[in-house]
């Protein structure tokens, strides 16, 4: 016998799925990922020591691809933005869809969460920045203007982004008031997510190879420096230095206080392109188009070790207590020994990895093309149900 579901019940169910809402979004823990890379210095380092090998716990279909940033995690729920303009929420423990919401025509940078609010930037469309109340599940405000290809910074009740016209804009989190703007120059664009350093400094690099340090509260330029090439991938910062990958086969290390170049790692092949960076404060870790993953000494710029893979490594690595995790354009994920670069685990995926990862105390969250979120967990002590 066919069971008929009343239309009103079906509509209520669908409407409950098509939103994003949390019980206590203002109460966060150290295990939450509220911004791309967990820290706004984009170190992409997470203190956990789950034992390898990992196994696939579940896989979720988000119906669209992802930008280069990492997913977020709040209250045991993954939040992943897609290039379709949606944010999907997925239960970490089960892989089940909790809800989703369409915000724009396309999201490139990871959203950012602060003070119980989520901020979503868009590369295209009429709503290029949206503030969302996570407690009430409703829109607070939206901004119409030039799009944002990169992610956001949140600090002191402000949300800050650098748009495709290389204009940095700071908004009041509560009502969207534009607090200040700073143009970085004509005929340039910002493709790499800015960094927040020392709590009150904003580092931004553009696609013409210019780097800037701004005062977070005023937008005033503290220093400007010329890099060895254009910047399209994620930089990282640690111990008074900022490390910047370029499209000219180089990684530049700048002094955060002065903007002076401390060292440059260069390769013979000038067309080589480094992917997003990660650091543990001792080494900078970088994949590249030559298939090498390099560990670089932060003080000297010397390559400590390198590991070779058959495919391009473009996504930023994930650093844990003992391992470096990298995804490849060859539909693979690898776990490397952090001290030696030796491969200790790998797994095949359904698609290429072009996005940064997130971590929990028991595993890693991987975004892969064309539309998959996969959670890998340690086979020892896993409480995640395999689907």
pLDDT value, residue 8:
45
- Domain assignment present for 237: yes
End-to-end CA distance of the chain: 29
Q: Tally Cβ neighbours within 10 Å of residue 289.
A: 18
- Domain assignment present for 2: no
Find how far residue 14's CA is from the centre of its chain.
29
- Domain assignment present for 89: yes
With CA atoms as reference, report the closest residue to 282 among 339, 226, 231, 233: 339
CATH of the domain at 41: 2.130.10.10
Q: Tally Cβ neighbours within 10 Å of residue 197.
A: 19
Find how far residue 8's CA is from the centre of its chain.
39
Q: How many domains does the chain have?
A: 1
- Domain assignment present for 63: yes
Residue length of the chain: 387
Digit-coded pLDDT (tens) for 282-309: 999 999 999 999 999 999 999 999 999 9
Concatenated DSSP letters of 7-68: HHHHHHHHHHHSS---S-TT---TT-B-STTSSTT---B----PPSPEEEEEEEE-SS---S
Digit-coded pLDDT (tens) for 313-332: 999 999 999 999 999 999 99
pLDDT value, residue 15:
45
With CA atoms as reference, report the closest residue to 277 among 326, 323, 234: 234
Residue 144: burial class (beta carbons within 10 Å; 0-12, 13-18, 19+): exposed
Give the whole-number percent of the chain exceeding pLDDT 90.
88
pLDDT value, residue 140:
98
Q: Which two tokens stand for residue 387?
A: 């689907």
Q: Which two tokens stand for residue 329?
A: 């354009």
Give pLDDT tens digits along the chain (387 positions): 444 445 444 344 444 468 999 999 999 999 999 999 999 999 999 999 889 999 999 999 999 999 999 999 999 999 999 999 999 999 999 999 999 999 988 999 999 999 999 999 998 878 899 999 999 999 999 999 999 999 999 999 999 999 999 999 999 999 999 999 999 999 999 999 999 999 999 999 999 999 999 999 999 999 999 999 999 999 999 999 999 999 989 999 999 999 999 999 998 787 899 999 999 999 999 999 999 999 999 999 999 999 999 999 999 999 999 999 999 999 999 999 999 999 999 999 999 999 999 999 999 999 999 999 999 999 775 444 333
What mean pLDDT value characterizes the chain? 93
pTM, full prediction: 0.93
Give the whole-number percent of the chain exceeding pLDDT 70.
94
Full domain range(s) for residue 176:
7-378
Residues 17-37 as b/e (b if ≥16 CB within 10 A, e otherwise) read eeebbbeebeebeeebbbbbb
With CA atoms as reference, report the closest residue to 341 among 362, 317, 316: 317
pLDDT value, residue 6:
52
pLDDT value, residue 13:
41
Digit-coded pLDDT (tens) for 68-94: 999 999 999 999 999 999 999 999 999
- Domain assignment present for 50: yes
- Domain assignment present for 242: yes
Residues 39-58 as b/e (b if ≥16 CB within 10 A, e otherwise) read bbbbbbbbebebeeebebbb
- Domain assignment present for 385: no
- Domain assignment present for 373: yes
The answer to whether the CB of 309 falls within 8 A of the CB of 334 is yes
C-alpha 119/C-alpha 202 separation (Å) is 18
C-alpha 140/C-alpha 173 separation (Å) is 9
């Amino acid at each position: 016998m066919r069971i008929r579901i009343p239309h009103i019940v079906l509509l209520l169910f669908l409407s409950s799925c098509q939103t994003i809402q949390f019980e206590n979004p203002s109460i966060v823990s150290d295990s939450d990922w509220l911004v791309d890379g967990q820290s706004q210095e984009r170190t992409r380092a997470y203190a956990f020591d789950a034992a390898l090998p990992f196994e696939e716990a579940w896989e979720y279909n988000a119906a669209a691809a992802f930008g280069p940033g990492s997913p977020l995690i709040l209250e045991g729920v993954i939040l992943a933005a897609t290039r379709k303009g949606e944010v999907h929420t997925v239960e970490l423990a089960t892989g089940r869809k909790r809800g989703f919401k369409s915000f724009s025509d396309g999201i490139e940078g990871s959203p950012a969460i602060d003070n119980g609010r989520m901020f979503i930037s868009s590369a295209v469309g009429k709503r290029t920045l949206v503030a969302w109340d996570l407690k009430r599940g409703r829109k607070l405000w939206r901004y119409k203007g030039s799009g944002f290809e990169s992610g956001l910074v949140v600090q002191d009740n402000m949300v800050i982004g650098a748009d495709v016209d290389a204009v940095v804009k700071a908004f009041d989190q509560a009502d969207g008031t534009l607090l200040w703007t700073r143009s970085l120059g004509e005929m340039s664009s910002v493709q790499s997510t800015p960094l927040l350093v020392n709590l009150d400094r904003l580092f931004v690099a553009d696609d013409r190879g210019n780097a800037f340090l701004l005062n977070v509260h005023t937008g005033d330029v503290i220093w400007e420096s010329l890099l060895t090439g254009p910047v399209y991938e994620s930089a990282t910062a640690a111990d008074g230095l900022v490390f910047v990958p370029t499209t000219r086969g180089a990684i530049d290390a700048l002094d955060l206080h002065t903007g002076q170049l401390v060292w440059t790692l260069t390769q013979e092949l000038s067309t080589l392109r480094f992917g997003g960076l990660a650091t543990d404060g001792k080494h900078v870790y970088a994949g590249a188009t030559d298939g090498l993953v390099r560990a670089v000494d932060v003080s000297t710029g010397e390559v400590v070790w390198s590991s070779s893979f058959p495919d391009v490594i473009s996504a930023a690595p994930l650093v844990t207590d003992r391992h470096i995790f990298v995804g490849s354009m060859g539909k693979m994920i690898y776990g490397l020994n952090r001290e030696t670069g030796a491969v200790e685990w790998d797994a095949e995926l359904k698609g290429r990895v072009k996005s940064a990862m997130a971590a929990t105390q028991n595993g890693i969250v991987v975004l892969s093309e064309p539309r998959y979120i996969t959670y890998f967990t340690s086979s020892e002590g896993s409480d995640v149900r395999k689907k």
